[in-house]
Amino acid sequence: MTGDNQRCAEGSTSNSRSDTSSSRRSVLKGATAGGLALTTGLAGCINQLGGGGGGSIKVGSLVDQSGALAVYGNPMAKATQLAVDQINANGGLLDRDVELVQKDPQSSNDKYQSMARQLILEENVDVLLGGISSASREAIRPIIDENKQLYFYPALYEGGVCDEYTYLTGPVPTQQVRPLVEYMLGEYGNNVYVMAADYNFGQISTLWTQRYVEEMGGTVVNKEFIPLSVSDFSSSINRIENQDPDWIMSFLVGANHVQFFKQANSQGLQKPMGSTVQAGASYEHKTLSPPALQDMHVSFNYLEELDSERNQEFVSNFRDKFPDTEYINQHAQSQYLSIQFWQAAVKQAGTADQQEVNSQLENGPEVNAPEGDVTLDPETHHTNHDMHIFRVGEDHSLSEVKTIKGIQPTWLQERCSLKSESTWDDPTTKQVTPGE
């Protein structure tokens, strides 16, 4: 009985909740007043059995291709398609076709939840990828934990997720912020002005920035949090000019916030800037007309401009298949990388069964991804990345100024040991924040 039918026996009866809420097993879930649930469970299974057997291995993917986050999601959707097509092109996986079921939640957390349920409970996918904003990840993680679904979250984020079923192929602040702060303090001076999007990602990244800046002897002269819907920065630009910092650290996210760079440029604000989101994720250097993003320094594990031989091949394959691609951002490469890790683990495990694949993943496989050779960290389920710092020129061309090899998510390693302390049936599923 192959993996994907196992859920049928397990899914409708087991109910281990994530440890934060009540550990009470749901009595009613097993047998409602009319005893209907039991028959439902079986009924639910009957139609699944038919669909199981040796059919294709299913990969589920949720990326926003419309609404405010489409700018990040379009390249990601193409990257997933490319990865699956490449697998099928050379013989599929374990001699079975890989079928991609990719949906567009239209930048709405509500749709993320219902589509995650559809992919897990109805499509019975063997692995789930996707989620762009931290909000969408947190919206579907309870559903993933409840149904023991193997899940890869590709985007860079504020860090701290320690979840048995979740793997994170995007970088975390320890990997992105520390090297960037170190470089910028060295190059431009100790007074930093932080501009951050006013939600979890912006706030926690600012906490990390403050910690590293102070650790390295600098001072954060001001921290400003901007709601996602705000697009007017005149008061902020005035404050920056008055406080005259050495450089600015930016965690601005979304189409509205991009206007900060245009307005700053047109108001004559000339300051070197650092960011873990600009260019590499939302490719402003492609869409803003120069010199708005001049003197911006970004630290990423992946940029389309990376001039490794392996990346050039990846980029040309990508653009051959999708000529109208605007930019291949970090999120897209991480989708591709997630499938590489999953593929390696499935081959190792010899089955698509999620529990087996999970234990293989916890052996810390190494894959040669477009960004370079990367390994999975067994204890935190995060990825060890090389970090590249690029500077945006006056004509918005990118030039690499520094590379730091193999950075591990050290802070999380002290607080999260999934391989040793968490198991498939008694999972740890929490998110740790710097305050703790």
Partner 1 sequence: MTIGATVLDWLSIVFANLGVLILAALGLAIIFGMMGIINLAHGEFIMVGAYATAISYHELSAPLPAAILIGGVASGVLGLALERLIIRHLYERLIDSMVATWGISLILIQAALLVFGARYPGMPTPFGPLQIAGVSTSMYSVVMTMTALALLGVVYLVFQYTDYGLKARATMQNDDMARSLGVDTDHIYMGTFFFGSFITGIAGGLFAPTVSIVPTLGTGFIIEAFVTVIVGGTNVIVGTFVSALSLSAIRSLGAQLFGTLVGRVVLLVTAIVIIRLLPQGITTYLEERS
Partner 2 sequence: MSGNERDPVIDETADQPSPADGRLQSLVDPFEGPHTVGNSPKFWAGFAAILLLVLAYPLFTNEYRVLVTTGFFIWIFLALSLSVIWGFTGIFSFGQTSFFGLGGYIFGVVGINLIDVTGGTNLALLAGIFLPAAFAAILGYFMFYGRVSGVYVAIITLATTLILELLFSRTAGQQYTIGEAALGGYNGMTGIPSITLGFGSTAVAFEGVSMYYLVVVVLVVLYLCLRYLVNSDYGHVMVATREDEDRTEMFGYDIRFVKLQVFTLSGAIGGLGGVLYAAQGNFISPPIMGLAFAALPVIWITVGGRATLLGAIIGTFGLRYLDDYLAGVSSEFSTIVMGLILLAVVLFFPLGIIPTVKNSWENSFDIPFLGGDNS
- The contact set with partner 2 (CB under 8 A) reads 11-12, 15, 18, 20-22, 24, 26-29, 32-33, 36-37, 39-41, 43-44, 47-48, 65-66, 102-106, 108-111, 113-115, 117-118, 120-122, 133-135, 138-139, 141-142, 198-200, 203-204, 225, 227-229, 433, 435-436
> Least distance (Å) from partner 2 to the CB of residue 59?
15
> Least distance (Å) from partner 2 to the CB of residue 21?
5
Closest to 304 measured CA to CA, from 280, 324, 288, 284? 280
Nearer Cβ to partner 2 (310/430): 430
Which listed residue (21, 22, 23, 289) binds partner 1 by CB under 8 A?
Answer: 289
Which residue is listed with tokens 């260019």? 279
Contact flag: residue 255 with partner 1 (CB under 8 A) = yes
Kindly indicate which of the ranges 50-58, 144-152, 238-246, 313-321 contains the residues binding partner 1, using the contact rule CB under 8 A: 238-246
Rounded-to-integer distance, Cα 54 and Cα 97, Å: 10
Rounded-to-integer distance, Cα 427 and Cα 121, Å: 20
Nearer Cβ to partner 1 (224/356): 224
Nearer Cβ to partner 2 (51/291): 51
Contact flag: residue 236 with partner 1 (CB under 8 A) = yes
Nearer Cβ to partner 1 (38/225): 225
Nearer Cβ to partner 2 (141/391): 141
> Least distance (Å) from partner 1 to the CB of residue 68?
5
* Long-range pairs for 357-364: beta carbons < 8 A, 24 or more residues apart: 357/126, 357/127, 357/150, 358/150, 358/164, 358/165, 358/424, 361/167, 362/418, 362/419
Beta strands in 281-347 (DSSP E): 296-300
Contact flag: residue 110 with partner 1 (CB under 8 A) = no
70-89 positions binding partner 1, by CB under 8 A: 70-71, 73-74
Dihedral angle sign, alpha carbons of residues 353, 354, 359, 363: positive
Rounded-to-integer distance, Cα 321 and Cα 82, Å: 8
Rounded-to-integer distance, Cα 300 and Cα 187, Å: 18
> Least distance (Å) from partner 2 to the CB of residue 340?
25
Rounded-to-integer distance, Cα 387 and Cα 281, Å: 14
Rounded-to-integer distance, Cα 316 and Cα 309, Å: 11
Q: Binders of partner 1: how many residues, by CB under 8 A?
A: 43
Q: How many CA atoms lie within 13 A of 304 on its CB side?
A: 22
Question: Roughly what angle, to the nearest 10 degrees, separates helices 134-146 and 109-117?
Answer: 30
> Least distance (Å) from partner 2 to the CB of residue 253?
10
* Cα R_g (the chain), whole angstroms: 22
Q: Both tokens of residue 69?
A: 């986050």
Nearer Cβ to partner 1 (272/378): 272
Contact flag: residue 326 with partner 1 (CB under 8 A) = yes
Residues 205-234: x/- map of binding to partner 1 (CB under 8 A)?
Answer: -------------------xxxx-xxxxxx
> Least distance (Å) from partner 2 to the CB of residue 200?
4
Closest to 201 measured CA to CA, from 163, 166, 253, 152? 253
Contact flag: residue 399 with partner 1 (CB under 8 A) = no
Contact flag: residue 256 with partner 1 (CB under 8 A) = yes
Question: Roughly what angle, to the nearest 10 degrees, separates helices 70-89 and 309-321?
Answer: 100
Q: Where on the chain is the footprint of partner 1 (CB under 8 A)?
A: 66-68, 70-71, 73-74, 198, 224-227, 229-236, 238, 241-242, 255-256, 258-259, 262-263, 265-269, 284, 286-290, 292, 324, 326
